[in-house]
Amino acid sequence: MKFKSMLFSALLISITTSAQAADTILKPFILASKAAGTVVEKSAQVKTALTAAGYSVVGEYSPYTGVDIIIVTNDELKKNAAASEFGGYGAVQRVSITEAGKEVQVSYTNPVYMANVYRMKGNLSGVATGLAAALGKVEEFGAQGMSAEKARKYHYMMGMEYFDEPDVLAEYASYEEAVQAVDAKLSADKNGVSKVYRVDVPGKKESVFGVGLKGGADSGKYMDDRFIMSEIDFHDVKSTAHLPYEVLVSGNKVYALYARFRIAINFPDLSMMGKNSFMNIMKTPDAIRDALKKAVQK
């Protein structure tokens, strides 16, 4: 009788724990710190802390004044990417240093949130713990949040793309030809698309590239990182770690997540209409797709 009681108690705890895990609300970003200082000083401190914690800095991006974004990877990220379909999107994490008024904010992408929206095999909880230890953790932010289950099935609204509905930008004869061509084309920094980083997924014919997007005046602005962020990143705590955008070479094809998904996963609460809404960047998804196609096609 005592054994049955203990067994029942253990089962109840297990069910309760599972339910709590399922109900955990995830948000896109984590605020590590906010304090006086300069972007240059904070960036140097962040890179030192990340390197000491075992992360490799693979790229750095400053799309506009008062901002620096550091892109990192490590063995856990790459191993999980290798085990996941189109896992290259989750092979890196982005850390932003942003000047906001009289303070500098250090934030980073939430690894557990990203693992779920990218439908990865593991949830990257170890990476989350490592980044929090290296940089700090004040709060998760960027949305009201959603459960892991919802994140894995996420799309902004009916008729809009899911994770498994990306743009196919180009096709080559082989992975080797594709990755060499894309690297060379992005490194040439033409048509407003530039290479920020490249990470090859180990044991897999897959590579992810980070790209900077810079458009001209008038219609060209809709692909421009600075313009897009000026419209959607308007809260006091900045979501600068949304950048940079990605291009994925997987096998012999070149992909990019469609912008109505890629932007929405980091700004899921953005309203459809009104001030600071998706309506103000309505032309952006096609503008980004067209710019990326032009940048990577033969």
Q: For each of the chain's 298 residues, which pLDDT tens digit applies?
A: 444 444 444 444 444 444 444 468 999 999 999 999 999 999 999 999 999 999 999 999 999 999 999 999 999 999 999 999 999 999 999 999 999 999 999 999 999 999 999 999 999 999 999 999 999 999 999 999 999 999 999 999 988 999 999 999 999 999 999 999 999 999 999 999 999 999 999 999 999 999 999 998 777 999 999 999 999 999 999 999 999 999 999 999 999 999 999 999 999 999 998 888 889 999 999 999 999 999 999 8
Q: Measured between alpha carbons, how far is residue 47 from residues 41, 124, 184, 200 in Å?
A: 10, 20, 27, 21
Q: What is the pLDDT of residue 11?
A: 45
Mark 17-27 as b/e (b = at least 16 C-beta within 10 Å): eeeeeeeeebb
Q: What is the pLDDT of residue 23?
A: 64
Distance CA 69, CA 99 (A): 12
Strand, helix or coil for residue 30: strand
The DSSP element (H or E) to which 35 belongs, if any, is: strand 29-35
List domains and CATH numbers for the chain: 27-146+164-296 (3.30.310.70)
Tracing tokens 């006086």 back to the chain, one arrives at 36
Distance CA 209, CA 185 (A): 11
Contacts of 10 (CB under 8 A, 6+ apart): none
Q: What is the pLDDT of residue 10?
A: 44
Q: What is the pLDDT of residue 13?
A: 42
